[in-house]
């Protein structure tokens, strides 16, 4: 709550004080008056809460945040220094309605009072829930939740790793499930804190240690089995208890981990950022172990079911092939009958070709006879036979006019039965 205290200092110059000659010497400077006001304000408003909307937010490279808290009738300058800002789980954003706690002070250089905040809480939703939503949205935009990046878990791995508390209930549940289903599998626990301020960094360290183990296995000669899958999680708890699995450093490490990961944090209703980044989410640590190592009876049942289905499909396919073969056998004939059919077809083709050739020759003969008759009717000999003749000069030129010859020329006259030689007189 805002608390006020009356100013106990005497006024700089009482209203009823007599105006002596040296009164002007007692008038304070701006710095003196501002310093007195600062003392009164800081002594009165050193532990206050105030509600307002974040406006004109600035975040320079120094890490401090400068903003204005406002409502419909007033505004108050505010500052959140880097040390206090680093303790907030969420990011202060423009337009956010918040509850701010701190002390009111005066910035003497500008004669402006401001609220120096030591903590800020969002209105309407808890700080952790808001931080969860902000980080989830940001990582999703970066593609860390992309389903295409999820890897397929190995089938019945020979060596699995567990990143959790070495003394928690979660590790006991996982070990119990694995020992009951596949007791011959190798298990390595990479212990870490799963609650508290240091838990996030310890989870990252445990993941790095698992990758280092695999690097040593890759070098060979040690006889070690590489970790094929990692179960990362813990038992149930409040949002604050599960918060290390919502930290950004844990999310980014899970996104880049070279070993396939299963997130198994809390109960079925609990969701963390680790669930969205990991290759697979399990509702509980026990469920994660059941996913990695299903029941042997279930595997046998699946194999039998698939075998029966395969046999059924094979029988159905064989039946289809038999029916198809029967249809083909009915359509196929004896080779000798096939040869006889081909011979009959060949004879028919020869007869057809012979008839076509005869028809073609008859047509050509008629055309030839018609052409010969036409040529005969147009022959010059036919014309000469009707009493006409053709006269030529010795050079063979046809005489068409008397002017074409002169006296003394010898001409040749063609008649139907011979040629006459004449001389022009």
Residues 119 and 167 reside in one and the same domain = no
Residues 98 and 31 reside in one and the same domain = yes
Q: Residue 222: is its pLDDT beyond 80?
A: no
Domain residues for the domain of 398 are 384-423
Mean pLDDT of all residues in 167-189: 92
Residue 213 lies inside a defined structural domain of this protein: yes
What gap in Å lies between CA 41 and CA 45, rounded to an integer? 6
Q: Residue 91: is its pLDDT beyond 80?
A: yes
Tokens representing 292? 């990695």
Task: Categorize the per-residue pLDDT at 5 as very low, low, confident or very high, splitting at 50, 70 and 90.
Answer: very low
> Which tens digits make up the pLDDT trace of 379-407?
666 666 666 778 888 787 887 888 878 88
Measure the CA dihedral 57/59/63/68, to 10°: -20
CATH code for the domain of 211:
3.40.50.2300
Task: Categorize the per-residue pLDDT at 10 as very low, low, confident or very high, splitting at 50, 70 and 90.
Answer: very low
Domain boundary at 124, 149, 167, which? 124
The total of structural domains in the chain comes to: 3
Residues 178 and 78 reside in one and the same domain = no
Residues 113 and 214 reside in one and the same domain = no
Q: Residue 8: is its pLDDT beyond 50?
A: no
Whole-Å CA distances, 40 to 110, 212, 419:
17, 60, 161
Residue 15 lies inside a defined structural domain of this protein: no
What pLDDT sits at residue 202?
A: 96
Domain boundary at 294, 318, 343, which? 294
> Which tens digits make up the pLDDT trace of 331-367?
766 677 778 888 888 889 999 999 999 999 999 888 8
């Amino acid at each position: 709550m805002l608390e006020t205290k009356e100013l106990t200092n005497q006024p700089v110059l009482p209203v009823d004080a007599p105006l002596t000659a040296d009164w002007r010497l007692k008038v304070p400077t701006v710095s003196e008056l501002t310093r007195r006001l600062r003392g009164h304000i800081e002594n009165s408003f050193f532990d206050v809460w105030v509600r307002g909307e974040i406006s004109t937010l600035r975040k320079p490279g120094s890490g401090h945040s400068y903003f204005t808290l406002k409502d419909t009738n007033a505004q108050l300058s505010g500052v959140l220094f880097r040390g206090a800002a680093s303790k907030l789980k969420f990011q202060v954003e423009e337009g956010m309605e918040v509850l701010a706690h701190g002390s009111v002070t005066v910035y003497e250089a500008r004669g402006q009072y401001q609220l120096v905040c030591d903590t800020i809480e969002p209105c309407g939703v808890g700080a952790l829930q808001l931080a969860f939503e902000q980080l989830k949205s940001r990582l999703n935009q970066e593609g860390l939740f992309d389903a295409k990046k999820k890897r397929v878990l190995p089938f019945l791995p020979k060596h699995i790793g567990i990143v959790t508390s070495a003394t928690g209930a979660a590790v006991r549940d996982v070990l119990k499930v694995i020992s009951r289903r596949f007791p011959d599998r190798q298990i390595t626990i990479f212990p870490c804190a799963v609650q508290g301020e240091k838990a996030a960094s310890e989870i990252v360290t445990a993941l790095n240690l698992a990758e280092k183990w695999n690097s040593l296995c890759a070098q060979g000669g040690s006889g070690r089995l590489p970790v094929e899958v990692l179960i990362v999680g813990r038992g149930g708890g409040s949002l604050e208890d599960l918060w290390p699995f919502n930290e950004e450093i844990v999310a980014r490490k899970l996104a880049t981990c070279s070993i396939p990961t299963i997130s198994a944090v809390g109960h079925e209703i609990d969701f963390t950022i680790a669930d969205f980044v990991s290759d697979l989410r399990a509702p509980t640590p026990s469920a994660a172990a059941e996913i990695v190592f299903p029941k042997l009876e279930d595997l046998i049942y699946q194999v039998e079911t698939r075998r029966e289905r395969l046999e059924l499909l094979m029988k159905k396919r064989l039946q289809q092939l038999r029916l198809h073969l029967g249809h083909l056998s009915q359509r196929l004939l004896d080779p000798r009958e096939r040869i006889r059919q081909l011979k009959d077809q060949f004879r028919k083709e020869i007869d057809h070709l012979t008839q076509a050739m005869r028809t073609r020759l008859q047509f050509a003969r008629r055309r030839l006879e018609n052409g010969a008759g036409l040529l005969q009717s147009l022959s010059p000999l036919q014309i000469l036979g009707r009493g006409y003749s053709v006269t030529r000069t010795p050079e063979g030129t046809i005489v068409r006019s008397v002017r074409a010859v002169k006296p003394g020329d010898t001409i040749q006259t063609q008649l139907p039965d011979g040629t006459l030689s004449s001389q022009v007189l």
